[in-house]
Each structure stands twice: as C-alpha cells, then as structure tokens.
Homo-oligomer: A and B are copies of this chain.
Amino acid sequence: MPQFDMPLADLQRYRPERDEPTDFDSFWDRTLDGQRVHRAQPMFVEVDAGYSQLVTEDVTFAGFDGQPVKGWLLRPRHVEGPLATVITYIGYGGGRGLLGEWTGLPSAGYAHFVMDLRGQGAGHRTGDTMDGPLAGPHHGGFMTLGIQEPDTYYYRRLFVDAVHAVSAAQAHPAVDAARIVISGGSQGGGITLATAALTQRVNGTPPVGAIVDVPFLAHMRRATEIVDTAPYAEISRYLGTRRNDVDTVFRTLSYFDGVNFAARSTMPALFSVGLLDDVCPPSCVFAAHNHYAGPARMKVYPYNGHEQGGAFQDVEHLAFVREIMGG
C-alpha cells in the first residue's frame, strides 16, 4: 500500500505523547558544557575545483572532543559579504560530497556551508572525516554504535559537531553570523532539529531558521514498528538479536529523538513530507512538526517517498531562505 501510514487528515492532527527522559536538558547541558574547552579557530583554505564564479573553501573545525571535522564553504565570487548563509547537514551514510554538488545556493547569492559527517561518507556522498583515530568513513553501522548508553552513542558526538559547525561558519568573515539558516533532509533533518534546539541554549546568535526535510531520528520507536527499511532497520535487527535490550535502546534514543528537540525549538521552520515515504514515515515527520515549538509549515508531497519534492523543494527552500534572511 503506497500510503501505508495514516490518512493525511489524521497525520495533520497526530501529536503523540513524547517519550522524554527527565534529565534530557541536563544531559545536553552537561554534554555541551564539557565540549566548550575543545572550541578552536576553524581553518578555511580556498580550493580550485573549476567553479570560477564561486569562491570555494575547504573547512576544518574542531568537533566533539576537538576532533577535526571537515566541511565546504561556497559563496558567489561577485557578491560583497557578509552574506546570508545556509548550513547543511547530510543524510545517513553521506559526507560533504564534492564541491560540484553544491552550486545552487551560491548561484542564488548565498553562502553555503556543508558539514561533513564523522565516519560517514561511504554510502551515497563521499566524506573525509574520522570518527576518532581508527574509524574513517565506512559503510553502515552508525544507528546502534554505542547505543548502550547515551554517553557513548554515536549521535552525541555528531550533534556536538553540528552545534560547533554553526560557530565555525560564524567565524568566517564573509558569513553574516546573524543570518544563518540550518537545513538538512532525512538524517540531516534530524541533525537540524537537534541543532536548532541546542544552539538556542549555547550560541548567543543562534540560527534564524530551520529547513527540516523528511527528518530521520524522529519518533523512532514508532518508526521501527511501521517500517523495516535502512537505516531504522539497524535498530530492529539489533533488537531482533538482543531481545532483552528493548528498554535500554529506547532509553538511549530518547535523548536524541527529534520530537523532543522539536518541542524546544522556536525559530521559524519549513518541513516537508512524502506521504509514500517508507524510510522516514509520515507520522514520524508529522510528530516532529506537530510538536515544534516555533512557527512551522509543512510542505506535503502526496505521490513521493523519501525523495520528497526534489528540485520542487529547492524552490521552497529558496523562498523560505529569502523570506527569513532576505537576499
């Protein structure tokens, strides 16, 4: 059944109770406080990939525990800054990719910062960031990495990287620190929800808007009950083997669930959903949207799955970015 989840009318009202640990905020305060010591000046090095109309820079900044995280910064060569800037987080398995994948926003006059993902970058877009000293980009296995405890869970490190990426972008002279929109689809949408909530706690000049396409990492328990596709299936396989660990796993995940972050974010947000999406099911996307604490609108694609609006959604992005930041 293509529309395998709830009917649209039900989705629009779907606001399930949140599964949220009582120390959610203190967990993150503790985590982010502990990472302050690792802040360092990011490095930007211009690279020539042939895109003569753009300035393209290779970025290195200090992520979790000060470990180096890579990124790209692209901006139009012929526009004076400081520029309104979009930061993008990538979907599961991908890294920052190649520069040629990111010419759209700079062609529209914006700076674009693309954060690489530790250990990922071997699934659909190449990446260049290690997850600690031994784990270069590799294929698969992040969903349950360290899931035994919130403190060891992979996404704790990744979300810290994402929060630091905002500061790193703000450190660049061509970036207007007060005009930043964060964005991402799928896992990138989940990271965006986390970053929106967390930067509001720790960054004096948090982003001013969030683009959250078909977010992954949201309402995760239901997701594992209604879809059996990668990457949620990594959780299901884990629990199908380790049958006594169901409570442990969902306790850990509750610190990272986008629904809980959504309830803490107040910047304007643009969501999208594909009603046929069997990777990030519609009810999980709506659960995050319907709990979102700030102004949020949802773009619905009734005949699309996880690919959602594609280039049509890029048009929505441009409109939202312009509406929020001008340009």
Interface of A with B (CB < 8 Å)?
1-4, 49-54, 76-79, 93, 97-98, 100-101, 103-104, 106-109, 121-126, 132-148, 152, 224-228, 234-244, 246, 276, 301-304, 309, 311-312, 314-315, 318-319, 322
Contacts and interface: CB of A to CB of B under 8 A. Distances in A.
Contacts of A309: 243
Nearest to A235: B139
Contacts of A224: 2, 303
Contacts of A76: 52-53
Nearest to A148: B136
A140 to B, nearest CB: 4
Nearest to A318: B50
A101 B226 contact: no
Contacts of A53: 53, 76, 78-79, 106-109
B311 A236 contact: no
Contact of A138 (B146, B302, B304, B312): B146
A210 to B, nearest CB: 20
B152 A144 contact: no
Contacts of A234: 138-140
Given A224-B2, A318-B100, A107 B109 contact: no
B97 A311 contact: yes
Nearest to A225: B3
Contacts of A103: 103-104, 107
A81 to B, nearest CB: 14
A100 B314 contact: yes
A122 B241 contact: yes
Nearest to A100: B314
A77 B76 CA distance: 11
Contacts of A137: 144, 238, 242
A1 B227 contact: yes
A98 to B, nearest CB: 4
Given A224-B303, A241-B122, A108 B51 contact: yes
B225 A122 contact: no
A112 B164 CA distance: 38
